[in-house]
Amino acid sequence: MWRRTGHRCEYCHVPQTHDPLPFAIDHIIALKHRGSSRASNLCIACFACNNHKGLCIAGRDDVTKKLVPLFHPRRHKWHWHFRWDGPNLLGLTPMGRVTIAVLEINRDYRIAFRQGLIDEGVFPPSPD
């Protein structure tokens, strides 16, 4: 699983090698919501994304005002839903916007962390 992900969070793409906190294996659809522990429902998540996601499987999109499922790393292509603008992650679709909001990917401390990685020349990762 780690090799498949390039040793980075499958939501925000921060590399494990540069994050001081250990990454987790996340149930994309939580067991509480009838998700399984099969590889097709597991992903690698940084502490921040995993902590903010919790048991969430959806959120309300501010643009469409509709309930939208979160990005599913096994089913969806990351580059269809997200784009980097410096250290800020932009949502290109309702799913992308909702995932960024629920996982609080653009909180100030996370942007500052990614800016530091950009300054070191190790972020963002090369496109998939």
The pLDDT of residue 2 is 57
The pLDDT of residue 124 is 86
* Mean pLDDT rounded to a whole number for the chain: 93
The pLDDT of residue 21 is 87
Q: Is 25 helix (H, G, I), strand (E, B) or coil?
A: strand
The pLDDT of residue 1 is 61
CB-based contact 86:118 (threshold 8 Å): yes
Give the pLDDT band of residue 71 (cuts 50, 70, 90). very high
Domain ranges of the chain: 2-120
The structure's pTM equals: 0.92
